[in-house]
Amino acid sequence: MLHTVNKSPFERTALQSCLGHALDGASVLLFEDGVYGALKGTGVSGEVAEAMGRVKFYVLGPDLRARGLREDRLIDGIQVVGYDGFVDLVTSHDNVQAWL
């Protein structure tokens, strides 16, 4: 399954709920205000880093750049994708759960 998160982890519990429901081998795509969940050195980065052992994380590059965030700020191992990569993720998974 592909999980998408588009809300800030500092304001909503969408990312927490996502991580609580993402099974081993699932993919998580962070986009829009969800990209803040991909930053290292934050109050939630430990939780994300811990989940990376069992879940693959992706983040949408255009949303990072819009917010002035460079790739070197990301937790190691999170893969940056473009809109084409977003589409590929959707088509390569059986289903998608959007954590709004």
Partner 1 sequence: MSEIKKFMYVNRKAPYGTIYALESLEVVLIGAAFDQDVSLAFLDDGVFQLTKDQDTSGIGMKNFSPTYAALGDYDVTKIYVEKESLEERGLTLDDLQHLTYEDEDDDWAEKDSIRLVTREELARIMDEQDVLLSF
Residues that bind partner 1 (CB under 8 A): 6-8, 10-11, 32-33, 36, 39-43, 45, 61-63, 65-70, 73, 82
CA dist list (Å): 59 to 3, 4, 22, 52, 82: 12, 10, 16, 13, 8
Which CB atom, from 3 or from 9, has the smaller least distance to partner 1? 9
- Least separation, in Å, of the C-beta of 80 and partner 1? 12
Contact call for residues 39 and 65 (beta carbons, < 8 A): no
- Least separation, in Å, of the C-beta of 28 and partner 1? 17
What's the farthest any 2 CA atoms get from each other in the chain?
A: 33
- Least separation, in Å, of the C-beta of 25 and partner 1? 28
